[in-house]
Amino acid sequence: MTTNGASCQSTVEDKAGNSTVCTSQKISNIDKEKPTITFTNDVDTKKGPSDTITISVSDAHPATDTYKYGFSSDATCNASDTYSHSFVSGTSFTIGTESHNGKYICAKAVDAAGNVSYQASARPLNIFIDTDGDGIKDDNDKCSNTPSGATVDKNGCASSQKDTDGDGIKDDSDKCSNTPSGATVDKNGCASSQKDSDGDGIKDDNDKCSNTPSGATVDKNGCASSQKDSDGDGVVDSEDNCPSISNVDQKDADNDGA
Q: Encode the chain (258 residues) as per-residue pLDDT tens digits.
A: 444 445 556 666 766 777 766 555 444 468 899 999 999 999 999 989 999 999 999 999 999 999 999 999 999 999 999 999 999 999 999 999 999 999 999 999 999 999 999 999 999 999 999 999 999 999 899 999 999 999 999 999 999 999 999 999 999 999 999 999 999 999 999 999 999 999 999 999 999 999 999 999 999 999 998 888 777 777 877 777 777 677 776 666 555 555
pTM of the predicted model, to two decimals? 0.55
Number of independent structural domains in the chain: 2
Name the domain boundary from 120, 137, 158: 120
Residue 173 lies in a domain: no
* Number of residues that this document lists for the chain: 258
- The one-letter amino acid code at 153 reads D
CA 19 centroid distance within chain: 85
Name the domain boundary from 66, 90, 120: 120
Name the domain boundary from 120, 140, 174: 120
Residue 63 lies in a domain: yes
Residue 21 lies in a domain: no
Domain span at residue 234 reads: 197-247
Residue 165 lies in a domain: no
Residue 217 lies in a domain: yes
